[in-house]
Amino acid sequence: MRKKLIAGNWKMNNNVEESLKLVEALISSKLKEDVDVLICPPFTSLYPVIRELKNSSIKTGAQNVHYEDKGAYTGEVSPLMLKSLGVEYVIIGHSERRQYFGETDLIINKKVKACLRHGLKPILCVGETLDQREAGLEKETVRNQLIKDLDGVTDGSGLVIAYEPVWAIGTGKTATSTQANEMSSYIREVLADIFTAHIAENMKIQYGGSVNASNAKEILDQPHIDGALVGGASLKADEFIKIINY
């Protein structure tokens, strides 16, 4: 049985004070015990959030990473730096990184390998645009992303995959639970081809795309969906808690 992983991606929101206030609300609440909770603050809040969560079961992740360990890469943060802070997970290949910052599958592949090299768990995001879905290319698109992003990765046991249809990110639209489950099932088939059926069966596949308190249960009850990558709704403590306690 795969344990659910519910992650809050705060994106470029919350200063340190706001971050700690949100964390305190989570710590003081009764959260479902059979769910792993993860929060991914901006870099500026990572260290204070990790300190605040020192005695909590809530895990922390980063929203991005560079693929080199150190060097002349102005403005970047290395996997070693994140590891030294106590970060456990890193979101890689989010559609906003692909769209706004020109991240290619080659770059994403390097980042995945860098994380695995240092014992960080990548949350690899894949998903199709609305045009690709309407053209019937959603499976081909996702398969190609997985093959390129995981090229040369020999063990997927430290990986999480997040299926995020690009047309559902921050739009208020969401894939139906059936669509999300079907794609998650297909992703597991592709992972079995890339790794082994045993590894694929034990890998977590999240859904991301306008997840909120009202649709979380229907999505998370699907057999091939092992969690959620939550955006805007994770910025409101009461709503995020409802998602966790679905």
Strands 160-163 and 89-92: unpaired
- In three-state secondary structure terms, 45 is helix
Asked if residues 93 and 124 have their Cβ atoms less than 8 Å apart, the reply is yes
Catalytic sites, residue numbers: 94, 164
The secondary structure element, H or E, covering residue 60 is: strand 59-62
Both tokens of 192, joined, read: 């079995």
- In three-state secondary structure terms, 63 is coil
DSSP 130-148: HHHHHTT-HHHHHHHHHHH
Tell me the Cα Rg of the chain. 17
The C-alpha torsion from 74 through 76 and 46 to 167, rounded to 10°, is 130
Asked if residues 114 and 121 have their Cβ atoms less than 8 Å apart, the reply is no
| 81: CB partners within 8 A, 6+ apart | none
> What does the alpha-carbon distance between residue 200 and residue 227 come to, in Å, rounded to a whole number?
15
Q: How many CB atoms lie under 10 A from the CB of residue 18?
A: 14
